């Protein structure tokens, strides 16, 4: 039965995961929110496409309403 992945594929995957872990750890150490997108990912969605046609901006985010207090007993 053949193996699903080669040793080099697994070591490459492990190398990328280590780099990702170090990047997120550095963000947390600087006090940044680790769940935010990477700067390159966040700006790529707002940049103009290669064809030069303008894009419409995404709709603004609406704030969440405050949580409702529990009902009195």
Domain ranges for the chain, please list them: 1-29
Encoding tokens for residue 25?
Answer: 């750890």
Kindly report the number of other CB atoms within 10 A of residue 44's CB atom.
Answer: 10
pLDDT in tens, 10-63: 999 999 999 999 988 988 888 887 777 666 655 555 555 566 666 677 777 777
Mean pLDDT of 62-73: 74
Q: Show Cβ contacts of residue 42 under 8 Å, excluding neighbours closer than 6 positions.
A: 36
CA distance 45 to 24: 21
Kindly report the number of other CB atoms within 10 A of residue 24's CB atom.
Answer: 14
Encoding tokens for residue 44?
Answer: 């790529």
Torsion sign across C-alpha atoms 65, 67, 71, 72: negative
Q: Is the pTM of this model over 0.75?
A: no
Predicted local confidence at residue 36, as pLDDT: 73
Residue 70 pLDDT level (bands cut at 50, 70, 90): confident
Mean pLDDT of 61-67: 71
């Amino acid at each position: 039965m053949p193996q699903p992945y080669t040793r080099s594929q697994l070591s490459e995957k492990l190398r990328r995961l280590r780099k990702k872990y170090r990047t997120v750890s550095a963000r947390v150490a600087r006090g940044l929110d680790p769940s935010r997108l990477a700067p390159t990912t966040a700006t790529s969605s707002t940049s103009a496409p290669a064809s030069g046609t303008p894009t419409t901006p995404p709709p603004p985010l609406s704030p969440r309403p405050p949580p409702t207090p529990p009902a009195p007993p």
